[in-house]
Structure 1
Amino acid sequence: MKEIQGAGVALVTPFHADGTVDFETLERLITFQIEEGMDYLVSLGTTGEVATLSSEERKQVWEFTAEKVDGRIPLVAGIGGNNTAEIVKQIAEFNIPGFCAILSVSPYYNKPTQEGIYQHYKAIAAVAKLPIILYNVPGRTGGNISAATTVRLAHDFKNIVAIKEASGSFAQFSEILRDAPEGFALISGDDPVTLPMMALGAVGIISVVGNAYPREVARLAHLCAHADFTAARVIHNRLLAITDLCFVEGNPAGVKYILKQKGFGTDTVRLPLVPIGDATKEKIKAQL
């Protein structure tokens, strides 16, 4: 899957002040990402607030994104949840041209066992028309996809091609890289650890801060891919403070505020998320 190497961005979904989808700003954001060097886009991942979009809105955003990208860079669709039957149905019915893969987060809230996680992805793999990228983010889901489960899925299903890893465990990253089949890709799911993960052998990043800083994130990933870690470290250090501020009051509220400062729409998020507070806004302005 060369399409998912390098720098990807988990696109925000811009909203008007009334909470409706702001397609004009979304188009400008897509153009910004492509012109600044992003390698691929993820539409409606966690950062896209997919949990608060209706099925009709999701379809509209995917179709609009594919139309505006127009094949210039690869696209990945985020489809995941904790109702296996419903996710299987959504993935089986997904037929929007222009997408090269599905990013599917592990089931949250239910707290399945490792066998339950395996069976969930087995059911998805059986119906998926596109390659599947696993997404492990225990801080959000309340459960970890163990390295053993990831490796088992990678060996058993050829259409499970990668994992976006945000567990923070370098021991786990190392086990995956050691034991997964050749060609299975490890992708950083956490901006601050992209450099060390790529030093281990990860193929890139699906970034949040890349919404606002696509050129820098893309440059960081490309330098790491060429083992120029000295130059990459300069960008890594420059991004650390603003990245921390992106997450201090939740994602994507922080990065949406930064985008607002850069002229990309409002910082509106949908409940239960709320905009960041004034103190964090002042800290972001100082960093900008």
Structure 2
Amino acid sequence: MESINRNRPNDAIQQQRGLSTLIAKAQESIASGKSFNRPSEAPSSWLEVSSLGRKAAIEDSWLINIGRARIKAQQAESTMDTIASGVTRAKELVILANNETLSTADRDVIAIELESLRDQFNQLSQAEDSYSGKLFHAGDPIQMRIDTNVLVTPSPNLQSLAQSIDIGGGATSDLDTIMNDMITAVRTGTAADRSQQLERTESLVSHFATLVAGQGLMVNRLDEQEDRLLQSQLTSTERRSTLENTDIAEAVTRFQSLLVNLEAAQRLYANSSSTSLIQLIG
């Protein structure tokens, strides 16, 4: 007599195949530690993982820029701080030179030290950065991108540093000219000339104090942006791990449940296969 299975739907067989496929996927997931291995297995998760990957690549490039910008910014900060200390020393020397009891020889010694400071300032203004470029670029300031709409200038340009210094009365001058005038006033100038140069030293001290303070803020800004990006990457990594990595305990529980369901389906199918048509309709 023919089995009832010849005429019954293939639902039971398809159910067993489906369960076997799910079991195989569960085994693969447990073995690989990945919740999915092909985009088709979890399209939405795969899209999100891809998006997180692109985001991480962009943030990596910003972090590289921050690293390079920080090196340049810190070097500029140190250099400007050295100039600021030199300017303070120049002010002390001009104050000393204003003592009318000094001899011409004494003032000449002061002028020689001022010349040394001037040469040092010129050398520092033309210093190279760690990447063999000018630390203080002549022309438009060099900017670096550290976020989608964020550009920073790691160091001021040469004009801001040493070529447009406010000397009062709406006038500006460059550092080299100011130092040369200072040296001349100390060496051969009158008391009035030296008094005027003392006012210039005040302008220099104020100018470089402002630059050093601003550069310190730039370094802090780079540090804060780096921290923000690193936190963003940590969050993205955790989210990606949640999407990609298998929850082993959950996967094992699901695997065991699928095995139980498959065994039950197989028993039911076996019982149905052994039942004759007469038994079913009798």
TM norm. shorter chain > 0.5: no
Q: Please indicate the TM-score interval, normalised by the length of the shorter structure.
A: under 0.3
Which has the larger Rg? 2
